[in-house]
């Protein structure tokens, strides 16, 4: 994700990375290679009593607000895994994206009593895809709701999210359908310079 002149990578613990628990970390990266060590975003976003994972970074350029959406099982949640959001503090702009995010707050309209995980937000912040096993999901072979892909929208980044809608049986199956990802719009190919005529 590009913000100003820096590229930001929001990470979670993966096999082979020796990070604390399942916390959310941030890197300032250039290109494909990570040039800075991962920095833990702190206990306000990474609750030591529970896992924080599946981070999705969102920069609202119009309102100059940066947020990280994440999932976890926290006190005060609605059930299994729920969806939370942490907003970057305005008073720490000189420190970039390291250690400047506030506490993770439950996003009630995206969460349910069942498992809600994995988010993908559209670049303008007006559409979010989530994985959820909420009521209305395609039943798995045991008859329980499976993990399905759902979509939620909002009129502006100041508005609450709509009640998520199931993407239906064209996309969802009795298996676990999860891990939505936003695919960037392909860049237009650059046109070749006009050929020079030889005289």
Q: Where are the domains of the chain?
A: 1-106, 109-182
Q: Which residues contact 127 (CB under 8 A, 6 or more apart)?
A: 121, 151, 152, 153
Instruction: Assess whether pLDDT exceeds 70 at residue 175.
Output: yes
Query: What is the radius of gyration, based on Cα positions, of the chain?
Result: 19
> Which positions ≥6 away from 62 have C-beta within 8 Å?
157
The confidence score (pLDDT) of residue 154 equals: 95
pLDDT at 136: 92
Signed CA dihedral, 70, 74, 76, 81: sign only:
positive
The per-residue b/e assignment along 126-137, b for 16 or more CB within 10 angstroms, e otherwise, is: ebbbbbbbbeeb
CB 127 within 8 A of CB 151: yes
Structure-model confidence comparison of residues 7 and 156, the more confident one? 156
Instruction: Return d(Cα 133, Cα 2) in angstroms, integer.
Output: 32
Reported pTM: 0.73
């Amino acid at each position: 994700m590009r913000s100003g002149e820096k590229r930001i990578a929001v990470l979670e613990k993966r096999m082979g990375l020796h990070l604390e628990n399942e916390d959310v970390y941030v890197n300032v990266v250039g290109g494909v290679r990570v040039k800075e060590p991962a920095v833990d975003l702190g206990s306000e976003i990474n609750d030591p009593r529970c896992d924080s994972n599946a981070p999705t970074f969102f920069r609202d350029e119009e309102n100059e607000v940066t947020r990280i959406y994440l999932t976890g099982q926290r006190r005060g949640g609605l059930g299994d895994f729920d969806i939370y959001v942490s907003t970057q503090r305005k008073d720490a702009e000189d420190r970039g994206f390291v250690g400047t995010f506030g506490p993770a707050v439950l996003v009630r309209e995206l969460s349910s009593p069942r498992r809600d995980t994995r988010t993908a937000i559209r670049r303008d912040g007006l559409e979010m895809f989530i994985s959820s096993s909420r009521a209305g999901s395609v039943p798995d072979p045991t008859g329980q709701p499976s993990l399905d892909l759902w979509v939620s929208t909002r009129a502006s980044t100041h508005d609450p999210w709509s009640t998520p809608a199931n993407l239906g049986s064209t996309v969802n199956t009795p298996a676990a359908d999860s891990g939505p990802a936003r695919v960037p719009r392909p860049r237009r190919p650059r046109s070749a310079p006009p050929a020079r005529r030889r005289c």
